[in-house]
A and B are shown apart, each in its own frame.
Chain A
Amino acid sequence: SQQGEEDPQALSIQEGENATMNCSYKTSINNLQWYRQNSGRGLVHLILIRSNEREKHSGRLRVTLDTSKKSSSLLITASRAADTASYFCATDLPSGANSKLTFGKGITLSVRP
């Protein structure tokens, strides 16, 4: 079973608009990470937020984490056509020697020029 569940499954917006993607998870985590994948390629790390952090920024990216609701959101501001990709959240579980990185099913973002 997958730990993270992203929402929505697909998102289509106009260039210049903001894109908001959500992720919910089931168990306690060390951190939550967001990744991007262009079609047929490997994943690229975007941002990591630790369990004791509530908000983090990186360029046009803003990530929030609510551990009480077990949820996170990724906001991409002023979107560009080049932001078109799949986005995944991943949770790093605090299971000690068996800590592992688990991914959700992903969100397909289309940014129309």
Chain B
Amino acid sequence: DGGITQSPKYLFRKEGQNVTLSCEQNLNHDAMYWYRQDPGQGLRLIYYSQIVNDFQKGDIAEGYSVSREKKESFPLTVTSAQKNPTAFYLCASSMMAGMNTEAFFGQGTRLTVV
């Protein structure tokens, strides 16, 4: 059963802690994305990757880091430098960026700072 899986669904973080959100896909997609969604803000791009071992900053990369060591996996670390991390995080993948293909989304991780 192919798809894109995010875990965990809910995550609570204490201030000053780093946390890592998981995103795995078995669709053999080259491109992967991380978005942040806040109420009334739509989706804002954090990082994206078109190929293994390469990634680019999106519009709001400060306070976040990523890695792309495997084609299937694109984990996102929310560092203590991110001032307002409470949000809904969405991971997506597509066959290849810029090639007129749709993106597939995971079900999201809701991160709350306590």
Contact = CB atoms under 8 A, between A and B. Distances in A.
Interface of A: 1-2, 30-31, 33, 35, 40-45, 48, 50, 88, 90, 92-106
Q: Is the interface of B mostly helix, strand, loop or mixed?
A: strand
Contacts of B42: 2, 88, 103-106
B94 interface: yes
Looking at B40, B88, B102, B107, the one whose CB has the most chain A CB atoms below 10 A away is B102
Nearest to B50: A97
Interface of B: 6, 33, 35, 40-45, 48, 50, 56, 58-59, 88, 90, 92, 94, 97-98, 100-108, 110
Looking at B6, B88, B101, the one whose CB has the most chain A CB atoms below 10 A away is B101
B108 A92 contact: no
A100 B102 contact: no
A101 B107 contact: no
A105 B58 contact: no
Given A33-B102, A104-B42, 4 more contacts: A40-B108, A45-B102, A103-B42, A105-B42
B103 A45 contact: yes
A9 to B, nearest CB: 9
